[in-house]
Chain A
Amino acid sequence: GENVEQHPSTLSVQEGDSAVIKCTYSDSASNYFPWYKQELGKRPQLIIDIRSNVGEKKDQRIAVTLNKTAKHFSLHITETQPEDSAVYFCAAGPSSGGSYIPTFGRGTSLIVHP
Chain B
Amino acid sequence: SQTIHQWPATLVQPVGSPLSLECTVEGTSNPNLYWYRQAAGRGLQLLFYSVGIGQISSEVPQNLSASRPQDRQFILSSKKLLLSDSGFYLCAWTRKGTEQYFGPGTRLTVT
B partners with A: yes
CA–CA, A106 to B97, complex, Å?
23
- A105 to B: closest C-beta gap in Å: 7
- B44 pairs with A89, CB closer than 8 A: yes
Q: Given the complex, which residues of A lie within 8 Å of B32, measured CB to CB? A: 98-100
- A43 pairs with B94, CB closer than 8 A: no
- B8 to A: closest C-beta gap in Å: 15
Interface-central residue, A45, A105, A107, by most chain B CB under 10 Å: A107
- A106 pairs with B42, CB closer than 8 A: yes
Partner of A49, one of B90, B96, B99: B99
Does B87 have its Cβ within 8 Å of any Cβ on chain A?
Answer: no
Q: Give the contact-size bracket for chain A.
A: 20 to 34
Does B7 have its Cβ within 8 Å of any Cβ on chain A?
Answer: no
In the complex formed, the residue of A with least CB distance to B95 is: A98
Q: Given the complex, which residues of B lie within 8 Å of A45, measured CB to CB? A: 102
CA–CA, A64 to B96, complex, Å?
23
Does A46 have its Cβ within 8 Å of any Cβ on chain B?
Answer: yes
Does A95 have its Cβ within 8 Å of any Cβ on chain B?
Answer: yes
CA–CA, A112 to B92, complex, Å?
29
Q: Given the complex, which residues of A lie within 8 Å of B90, measured CB to CB? A: 43-44
Does B74 have its Cβ within 8 Å of any Cβ on chain A?
Answer: no
A residues adjacent to B (C-beta < 8 A)? 32, 34, 42-46, 49, 51, 89, 91, 95, 98-102, 104-107
Known: A34-B99, A99-B32, A107-B42. 11 other contacts (CB 8 A): A32-B98, A34-B100, A46-B99, A98-B32, A98-B97, A99-B51, A100-B98, A100-B100, A104-B43, A106-B42, A107-B43
